[in-house]
C-alpha cells in the first residue's frame, strides 16, 4: 500500500530545514518537488546519452531519439490517448494553451466568433484569448460561478451561440481546488459540435485523467507540477484536430521539405514541435509519470483527499476563517469528489501576505496572492488568498503543524 515515510525518502529536499525548522512544503500547486529517480534519469542522460534528437544517424543520436520517443509513449499511456501522434511536447501548460489558442483561432475563427472560458481560469487560459480578441476581434465569454466556486451550468448553456467555436476550461481550479463539471461541459458542448479544451495543470498530478473517457478535444498540462522537470509540458489533441490545425511556430523538426518556392510540414506531433526539443526533460517527465504510476494514481488521490478533508476539518476550528471553494456553512459541506488538493482561505482581516510571511518563518511554505487568477479574486471582491496545496508526500503531521502555525500567527493580530 502507500508507505508515506518511504515515499518521502524519494524526495531529499523534504528533509531540509528552513530558518532552523523542518520544511513543510505546501505550495505544490505552484510546483512539486522531484523524486531522485527523475534527477538520476536526467543526469544519466546528460552523462551517457546526450545528442540532438531526430537528426543524427549516429548511435548517440539514435539512443537519445529512442528515449525521447519512448517518453511520448509513456505520456500517451498515462493519459490513455489513442496514439503518440496526439502527444505534443511543449514548454508547459501555458505554451500548450497558447498553441491551441493561436492555431485554432487562425484556422477556425473569424471576427465575432466566440470562445467560452470560465471565471476560475488561470491567466494562461485568459490572456492568450484576450490577445487574439484584440488582434482578430474574437469574443471571449465567461461561465459565471456561485459563492462556493461552482460553475453555473444554466448560464453556460445560455452562453452558447452559433458563433461559439471552442470551450476552454480548467479541469481543477488552481486557487480553490474545486473539480469543475467538465464531463457535463463536454457533453453539452458536443451536442452543438463544439470542441473542448481542458487545462489539466491541476488535475493530471492528482488523479487519473483518461482523455478517451473524458472525450475532450485538447488537454494541457505541465511536467513540473507532476514531479517532473520544469520547462516541459504536454498538449494532447485528438489526431483529427491536430491534423487540421495550422502550425504554431516554424523552424527545424516541424518541416517535411523547405524551399523558397514553398514548405511542407510534418504530420503531428512534430508539426507543432519547432526547434530542438528539451529531450532530457521529456525523459525526466516520463520517469516522473512512471514513478506516480508505480505508486498508483488512485492511491495518490486517496492520500491527498484524506489530507484535504482533514485539513479542511482542522482549519474550520480557526475563528473567522473564510474558505473559497469550500462551503463556509458546515451543514452544506461538499462531498470529497468535488474538491481536490488545494484549499484557499482568508482569516479575519489578516492580510494573506502577512500570514504567508509569518508561516514562512515557521518553515511552512504556502502561497499567497492572486494565484494568477485575478478575475476570480475580482469575483469574490478580494485581492488574494492564502493557498495550501498538497502532494503525494505530504502528511497529516504537516497539516497539524500548519494549523498550529496559523493559530500562533493569529494570536499576534
Q: In sequence order, what DSSP letters do the residues of 69-109 get, joined into one string?
A: HHHHHHHHHHHT-S-GGGEEEESSHHHHHHHHHHHHHHHH-
In the complex, least distance from residue 181 CB atom to ligand PLP, rounded to whole angstroms: 16
Q: Which of 92, 195, 228, 405 binds ligand PLP (CB under 6 A)?
A: 92
Question: Which three cell numbers, joined as nine digits, stand for 352?
Answer: 494573506
Q: What are phi and psi of 274, to 5 degrees?
A: -70, 140
Cβ nearer to ligand PLP, comparing 123 with 316 = 123
- Helices 352-361 and 396-411 cross at an angle (nearest 10°) of 120
Nearest by Cα to 49 from 280, 281, 278 = 280
Cβ nearer to ligand PLP, comparing 199 with 398 = 199
In the complex, least distance from residue 229 CB atom to ligand PLP, rounded to whole angstroms: 11
Restricted to residues 100-159, the positions that interact with ligand PLP (CB under 6 A) are 122, 124
164 to 183: interface string for ligand PLP, x by CB under 6 A: ------x---x---------
Alpha-carbon gap, residue 166 to 97, rounded angstroms: 12
Q: Contact at 8 Å (CB) between 125 and 196?
A: no
Q: Which of 33, 65, 93, 103 binds ligand PLP (CB under 6 A)?
A: 93
The single residue listed with the C-alpha cell 502532494 is 391
Cβ nearer to ligand PLP, comparing 33 with 124 = 124
Question: Which three cell numbers, joined as nine digits, stand for 202?
Answer: 491541476
In the complex, least distance from residue 28 CB atom to ligand PLP, rounded to whole angstroms: 10
In angstroms, the Cα distances linking 364 to 24, 222, 305, 401, 404 are: 5, 24, 20, 8, 11
In the complex, least distance from residue 31 CB atom to ligand PLP, rounded to whole angstroms: 8
Q: Contact at 8 Å (CB) between 54 and 275?
A: no
20 to 59: interface string for ligand PLP, x by CB under 6 A: ---------x------------------------------
In the complex, least distance from residue 412 CB atom to ligand PLP, rounded to whole angstroms: 30
- Binding segment toward ligand PLP, per CB under 6 A, in 76-84, 88-96, 327-335, 382-390: 88-96
The reply to whether 222 sits near ligand PLP by the rule CB under 6 A is: yes
Q: Are strands 87-90 and 233-237 parallel, antiparallel or unpaired?
A: antiparallel
Cβ nearer to ligand PLP, comparing 29 with 362 = 29
Cβ nearer to ligand PLP, comparing 54 with 387 = 387
Q: Contact at 8 Å (CB) between 266 and 329?
A: no
Alpha-carbon gap, residue 410 to 413, rounded angstroms: 6
Cβ nearer to ligand PLP, comparing 122 with 238 = 122
In the complex, least distance from residue 369 CB atom to ligand PLP, rounded to whole angstroms: 12
- Binding segment toward ligand PLP, per CB under 6 A, in 197-205, 249-257, 270-278, 312-320: 197-205
- The SS3 call for residue 27 is strand
Q: Which of 201, 209, 216, 270 binds ligand PLP (CB under 6 A)?
A: 201
- Work out the burial of residue 411: count CB atoms within 10 Å of its CB; fewer than 13 is exposed, 13-18 middle, 19 or more buried: exposed
Cβ nearer to ligand PLP, comparing 219 with 358 = 219
The single residue listed with the C-alpha cell 482569516 is 347
Please count the residues of this chain forming the interface with ligand PLP, following the rule CB under 6 A: 12
Query: Does 105 participate in catalysis according to the annotation?
Result: no
The catalytic residue among 37, 105, 216, 372 is 372
- Work out the burial of residue 208: count CB atoms within 10 Å of its CB; fewer than 13 is exposed, 13-18 middle, 19 or more buried: middle
- Binding segment toward ligand PLP, per CB under 6 A, in 65-73, 90-98, 274-282, 321-329: 90-98
Cβ nearer to ligand PLP, comparing 350 with 372 = 372
In the complex, least distance from residue 400 CB atom to ligand PLP, rounded to whole angstroms: 26
Alpha-carbon gap, residue 221 to 198, rounded angstroms: 9
- Binding segment toward ligand PLP, per CB under 6 A, in 89-97, 182-190, 377-385, 391-399: 89-97
Q: Which of 10, 86, 199, 278 binds ligand PLP (CB under 6 A)?
A: 199
In the complex, least distance from residue 379 CB atom to ligand PLP, rounded to whole angstroms: 16
Nearest by Cα to 54 from 286, 244, 243, 277 = 277
Q: Are strands 114-118 and 321-324 parallel, antiparallel or unpaired?
A: unpaired
Which residues are catalytic, by number?
372
Interacting residues with ligand PLP (CB under 6 A): 29, 92-94, 122, 124, 170, 174, 199, 201-202, 222
Amino acid at each position: 500500500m502507500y508507505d508515506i515515510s518511504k515515499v518521502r525518502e524519494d524526495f531529499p529536499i523534504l528533509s531540509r530545514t528552513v530558518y532552523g525548522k523542518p520544511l513543510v512544503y505546501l505550495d505544490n500547486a505552484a510546483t512539486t518537488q522531484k523524486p531522485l529517480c527523475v534527477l538520476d534519469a536526467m543526469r544519466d542522460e546528460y552523462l551517457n546519452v546526450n545528442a540532438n534528437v531526430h537528426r543524427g544517424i549516429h548511435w548517440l543520436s539514435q539512443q537519445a531519439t529512442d528515449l525521447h520517443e519512448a517518453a511520448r509513449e509513456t505520456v500517451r499511456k498515462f493519459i490513455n490517448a489513442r496514439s503518440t501522434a496526439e502527444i505534443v511536447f511543449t514548454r508547459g501548460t501555458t505554451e500548450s494553451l497558447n498553441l491551441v489558442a493561436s492555431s485554432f483561432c487562425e484556422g477556425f475563427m473569424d471576427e465575432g466568433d466566440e470562445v467560452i472560458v470560465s471565471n476560475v481560469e488561470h491567466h494562461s487560459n485568459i490572456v492568450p484569448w484576450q490577445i487574439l480578441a484584440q488582434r482578430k476581434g474574437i469574443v471571449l465569454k465567461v461561465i459565471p460561478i456561485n459563492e462556493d466556486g461552482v460553475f453555473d451550468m444554466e448560464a453556460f448553456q445560455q452562453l452558447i451561440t452559433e458563433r461559439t467555436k471552442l470551450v476552454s476550461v480548467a479541469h481543477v481550479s488552481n486557487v480553490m481546488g474545486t473539480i469543475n463539471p467538465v464531463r457535463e461541459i463536454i457533453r453539452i458542448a458536443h451536442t452543438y459540435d463544439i470542441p473542448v479544451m481542458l487545462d489539466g495543470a491541476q488535475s493530471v498530478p492528482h488523479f487519473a485523467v483518461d482523455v478517451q473517457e473524458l472525450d475532450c478535444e485538447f488537454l494541457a498540462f505541465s511536467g513540473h507540477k507532476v514531479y517532473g522537470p520544469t520547462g516541459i509540458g504536454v498538449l494532447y489533441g485528438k489526431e483529427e484536430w491536430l491534423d487540421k490545425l495550422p502550425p504554431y511556430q516554424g523552424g527545424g523538426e516541424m518541416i517535411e521539405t523547405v524551399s523558397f518556392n514553398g514548405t511542407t510540414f510534418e504530420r503531428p506531433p512534430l508539426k507543432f514541435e519547432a526547434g530542438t526539443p528539451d529531450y532530457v526533460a521529456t525523459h525526466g517527465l516520463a520517469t516522473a509519470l512512471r514513478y506516480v504510476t508505480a505508486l498508483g494514481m488512485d492511491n495518490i488521490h486517496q492520500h491527498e483527499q484524506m489530507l484535504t478533508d482533514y485539513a479542511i476539518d482542522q482549519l474550520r476550528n480557526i475563528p473567522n476563517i473564510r474558505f473559497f471553494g469550500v462551503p463556509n456553512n458546515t451543514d452544506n459541506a461538499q462531498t470529497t469528489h468535488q474538491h481536490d488538493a488545494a484549499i484557499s482561505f482568508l482569516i479575519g482581516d489578516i492580510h494573506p501576505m502577512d500570514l504567508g510571511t509569518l508561516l514562512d518563518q515557521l518553515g511552512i511554505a504556502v502561497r499567497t496572492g492572486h494565484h494568477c487568477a485575478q478575475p476570480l479574486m475580482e469575483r469574490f471582491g478580494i485581492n488574494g488568498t492564502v493557498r495550501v496545496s498538497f502532494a503525494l508526500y505530504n502528511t497529516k503531521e504537516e497539516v497539524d503543524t500548519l494549523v498550529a502555525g496559523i493559530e500562533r500567527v493569529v494570536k499576534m493580530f
